Amino acid sequence: MYTVFAYENIEDGPNPTAFLHNIGVAVSSDGGVTWHDYPVKINPDITAKYDNQFVNVDVDKSGVVYVAYSDNHGIFYQYSTDHGQTFSAPVQVSQGADTAVMPWLAAGERGKIDLVYYQAVGYSGNPEAATADVAWKVVMAQSLAAASPLPAFTYTTVNPIVHHGGVCEGGVLCTGNRDLYDDFGVQASPTTGFASIIYSDDQYQNDANHKPNATFNCTAAESDSSTCDHTNIATQTAGTRIFTTKGK
């Protein structure tokens, strides 16, 4: 069993400028009775911030452990081939200077992963401070060689616009826009190998697959507000899959 977390050092406690600037993994080999902690990413810069929603973990069919996270600007992952005791160097998945947040990870056969996130094209600032002209989209990055020093990724835009403006990552402590509600996830079918992605969307749509939320009177004028907020699911129907044989 594995669980991941962001943490600061004990000596950082009295320092009000210190954030959760490290990432760790807790590993249990006896069904959760005992746990051992190991570092994934140690950043000596105490102003680095990895408690952005969310640090997450998955394990591929061969036992390689993957940890994905955001530094509030880019999306990264690291992998371990020794059950979480040591990890590779960080690999940046998100592209260019764009801001990307809220990574979620699904692992399949050895080295095959799907990694999804929200991305603001052309914006490189604080996600919470994004102005109303900044559009966020849903992206899936897929690699078939993620457990190697030089992984290659292919990128698919799942939904071109799901929100404009700020994205709050403070959970229930948010003081700004929280329309995306930390609601994100991806899983791959062990029988088809295709990904299904669940995500939030606060845009007005009215077509066969997207009916406006009549309960909350969602109209075109209410886009980018909680009135139109809803959950979407998108399932891959073709292309490369991360499982080619049945069973995980």
| 175 in any annotated domain | no
Query: Band of the pLDDT at 134, cuts 50, 70, 90?
Result: very high
Structure confidence by residue, pLDDT tens digits, 152-186: 999 999 999 999 999 988 777 777 788 888 889 99
* Number of compact structural domains in the chain: 1
Q: Which range marks the domain in which residue 64 is found?
A: 2-166
The C-alpha angle with vertex 161 and arms to 95 and 207, in degrees rounded to 5, equals: 145
| 188 in any annotated domain | no
What contacts 76, CB < 8 A, 6 or more positions away? 41, 68, 69, 70, 90, 91, 92, 93
Query: Band of the pLDDT at 36, cuts 50, 70, 90?
Result: very high
Query: Band of the pLDDT at 56, cuts 50, 70, 90?
Result: very high
| 223 in any annotated domain | no
| 197 in any annotated domain | no
Token readout for 95 is 């592209």
**Which class for 66: exposed (0-12), middle (13-18), buried (19 or more C-beta within 10 A)?**
buried
Q: Mean pLDDT across the chain, nearest whole number?
A: 93
CA–CA distance, 53 with 83 (Å, rounded to integer): 24
In this structure, of 4-8, 105-109, 137-141, 206-210, the range with the lowest mean pLDDT score is 206-210
| 231 in any annotated domain | no
**Interval 27-49 mean pLDDT:** 96
| 13 in any annotated domain | yes
**Interval 113-140 mean pLDDT:** 95
| 173 in any annotated domain | no
Question: Taking the CA of residue 59 as centre, how many other CA atoms within 13 Å lie in the half-sphere pointing to its CB?
Answer: 14
Distances (CA, A) of 143 to 61, 62, 88, 148: 15, 15, 16, 10
| 97 in any annotated domain | yes
CA–CA distance, 74 with 187 (Å, rounded to integer): 21
CA–CA distance, 13 with 22 (Å, rounded to integer): 14
Strand partners, 18: none
